[in-house]
Amino acid sequence: MGFSTLGINEDLLKAVVAQGYKEPTPIQASAIPAVLKGKDVMAGAQTGTGKTAAFALPLLQKILENKQQNLAIKTLVLTPTRELAQQVHNSFETYAQFTDIKSTLAYGGVSIKTQVKALKTGADILVATPGRLFDHIVNGTVDLSHVEYLVFDEADRMLDMGFIDEINRILKRLPPKRQTLLFSATFDEAIFKLSKTLLKNPELIEVNERNKATTQVEQVVYNVDADRKRELVSHLIGSKNWQQVLIFTRTKQGADALAKEMCKDGLKTQSIHGDKSQGAREKALLEFKSGKTRVLVATDVAARGLDIEQLSYVINYELPYIAEDYIHRIGRTGRAGSTGLAISLLSPDENWLLEEVEAVIKDRLPQQWLPGYEPDLTKKPAKDDFKNTRSAQKRRTKKRASGEKTGNNRRRR
Ligand code: AMP
């Protein structure tokens, strides 16, 4: 089944063909007709499944059908991070390249002035992070009174990052009569709670089994002592001659320290996290994409939404505290049909984190010892600090379900 059978207009089809897409992905085949019919949609889809086009194409089509002379924001897309906002905006621009539809951006970490100017000039689509959008609302620099279509992209992440207050305040400024689409890689109680307040009689679309990690990705766990992880990573990348590797750490400091050490090992490495300026993050990403940098070390927040074509290797230097993040992390590889390898390094004191991940993905991950890097089982495991305890994790999960902010989720605008 080609895109043309989905009812997509010629100019949009031209852009799709120019992108080299031959067939709609499963999420596109399900979501495009539902959105065109005017249905609210709740879709479970990870990054890498083609979810952006699944909402962008039918919304562009709807805007084209009712295009008026004066520009007004008809479509509002909320994303958790700047990177994802940028990426979604780029996708809208790509798919709308043969039309006169305009998209603009509003996210934090950069000067608000340029955005104010762009908003004044006018656009049909606004892609925004909740914090910065709320700043524009307070300053009176955005008019949301014409919004007809609202998209929540990576809604689970938005809740994780504690954006619920901003979301509720933004919702109050939107016309009540609208079509709302909610995309989330994972579904939990908090998402269902949000969906109840947001969506009217939604069509539920699930292309992957709920909370299931992508199957094109081979997943392996290497047991290794914490103080030998860096050595193991450099060994793997060097001996296997991997050219583009994305590594996840839990903290910004950890990301910086690891990048520095890896450079000393002769592997060109950069780090990317929330404390780096937008410019620095974009530069690091560009250099990684172009192959100038071989290894990119990222925190979960910074990596969300990164779209790197043909990324084959993801390494979890540490497993995430929020088990669902594991799915997002490994979703960076095995995208749009290609295969990938996701390696997790597990020190003996991190077993409980693996159990959390396995509970979320409803699967057991194969564990291996790598010759020369076997863990020293005579060593005493490091004492868990408060954040690492299982009860603390449970408290956070509970808080998240009730829509409260969790302590380990930084809010960023
Ligand atoms: P997304 O899940 O929206 O982040 O998309 C992931 C990647 O898949 C992007 O690089 C898209 O350009 C690509 N993509 C989206 N739709 C298709 C399609 N129908 N055929 C091939 N690639 C696609």
Pocket test of ligand 1: the residue of 1, 17, 25 to mutate, having most ligand atoms within 8 Å of its CB, is: 25
pLDDT value for 144: 96
Q: Would the CB of 104 count as within 6 Å of ligand 1?
A: no
pLDDT value for 335: 60
202, 315 Cβ separation under 8 angstroms: no
DSSP string for 402-413:
TTPPPTT-----
Residue nearest to atom 18 of ligand 1 (CA): 21
d(CA 280, CA 267): 19
- Packing angle of the helix pair 51-65, 26-36 (nearest 10 deg): 30
Task: Give the nearest ligand 1 atom to 47 CA.
Answer: 2
pLDDT value for 305: 59
- β-bridge mates for residue 150, sequence order: 76, 180
Q: Would the CB of 53 count as within 6 Å of ligand 1?
A: yes
pLDDT value for 393: 53
d(CA 8, CA 405): 40
Q: What is the mean pLDDT of each run of 10 residues along the chain (413 residues)?
A: 84 94 92 96 84 96 86 95 91 96 93 94 96 95 96 89 89 94 83 86 76 69 93 92 93 94 93 85 88 92 66 91 87 68 92 90 83 77 47 50 42 35
Judge whether 3-206 and 217-385 match in fold. yes
Residue nearest to atom 21 of ligand 1 (CA): 21
d(CA 111, CA 346): 41
pLDDT value for 214: 56
pLDDT value for 63: 95
Q: Which residues contact 17 (CB under 8 A, 6 or more apart)?
A: none
For 122, the 3-state DSSP assignment is coil
Q: Show the CA angle centred on residue 408, arms to residues 410 and 306, nearest 5°.
A: 55
CATH superfamily name and code, 3-206: P-loop containing nucleotide triphosphate hydrolases (3.40.50.300)
Residue nearest to atom 20 of ligand 1 (CA): 21
The CATH architecture that domain 217-385 belongs to is: 3-Layer(aba) Sandwich (3.40)
Q: Would the CB of 80 count as within 6 Å of ligand 1?
A: no
The alpha carbon of residue 94 and the mean position of all alpha carbons in its chain are separated, in whole angstroms, by 19
The full set of domain ranges for the chain reads: 3-206, 217-385
pLDDT value for 207: 73
pLDDT value for 388: 47
* 51 Cα to the center of ligand 1, angstroms: 7
Q: Would the CB of 334 count as within 6 Å of ligand 1?
A: no
d(CA 228, CA 349): 14
